[in-house]
Amino acid sequence: MQPGRSESAIMTGAEQARFRINRPNSRPRTTCVIALDERSAAALATLKDRPWNGAQFLRYAGARRASDQLPSLRIDAVLQDEAGNKLSLMQALTGVDSLIMLTAGDAAAEAAEMIGNACVARGIAATGLVLAPAAGGEALGRIVAAMRPHTTMLVVSSGEDYIAEMLSALRA
């Protein structure tokens, strides 16, 4: 330590920066991205060939009902991967650290509720990314209202280019 200089003054300088530990400070996290409608699925499809850190890209295909007699009792969601393979929401959430729901329409309310509830039950942070519709206004208001109860972070973006930017920033 140099006499007369505080620890903060010394340690925040460029000279000391070279002693910062330069090994990875995190392990890869598993991010699951689910497109809830056609437009968001199309936007997601354009990203699948980029290099990601294990992010899974899925789309919501529908709800699995308890039985034909109990159609309103939804017990799971059916998802679809890029190759068209079907899997259940419960399977998809296994080992997931962070989940992102992507939507551009208010038809996504049912899916958001099912996925959001499943995330709450498993302690998974659920983020909603809303691609603002060209119409904006009321349509956007309905989408945001549908997503709000089921996400811990909600983002409204006017550009699809934000999807990749956000995923990259989150190390997805």
Partner 1 sequence: MLRKEQNDLLTQTGPGTAMGDFFRCYWIPALLAEELRENDCPPVRVKLLGERMIAFRDSEGRYGLIDEFCAHRGVSLWFGRNEHGGIRCPYHGWKYDFTGQCVEVPSEPVESGFCQKIKLTGYPLVKVGDVLWTYMGPAEHKPPLPEWEFARVPAEQSFTSKRLQECNWLQAMEGGIDSSHVSWLHSGNLNSDPLFKGARGNQYNMTDKRPVFEVVDSDGGLYIGARRNAEEGHYYWRITPWVMPCFTMVPPRGDHPIHGHFWIPIDDENCWTWSFDYHPVRALTDKERQAMKDGKGIHVAYVPGTYRPRANKDNDYLVDREAQKKGISYSGVEGIAMQDASLQESMGPIVDRTKENLVSTDNGIIMARHRLLRAAKALRERGIRPPGIDPVHQRVRSAAIVLPVDQPYKTAASDAMVAVPGKAQVSV
C-beta of 73 vs 145, nearer to partner 1? 145
Could you give the C-alpha distances from 111 to 9, 36, 158, in angstroms and in order? 53, 7, 22
State which of positions 2-21 bind partner 1 (CB under 8 A).
Answer: 5-9, 11-14, 17, 20
Which of 1, 2, 19, 26 contacts partner 1 by CB under 8 A?
Answer: 26
Q: Residue 41 and residue 53: Cα distance in Å, rounded?
A: 20
Site string for partner 1, 88-127 (x = CB under 8 A): ----------x-x------------------------x-x
- Beta carbon of residue 85, minimum distance to partner 1 (angstroms, whole number): 27
Q: Residue 147 and residue 99: Cα distance in Å, rounded?
A: 13
Taking phi over 0 as left and psi of -120 to 50 as alpha, with beta for the rest, 122 belongs to alpha
Are 65 and 71 in contact, with CB atoms under 8 Å apart?
A: yes
Contacts 24+ apart (CB under 8 A), 2-10: none
Are 101 and 112 in contact, with CB atoms under 8 Å apart?
A: yes
C-beta of 28 vs 71, nearer to partner 1? 28
87 near partner 1 (CB under 8 A): no
**Count of residues in contact with partner 1, rule CB under 8 A:** 42
Interaction site with partner 1 (CB under 8 A): 5-9, 11-14, 17, 20, 25-26, 98, 100, 125, 127, 132, 137, 140-141, 144-145, 148-149, 151-159, 161-162, 165-166, 168-171
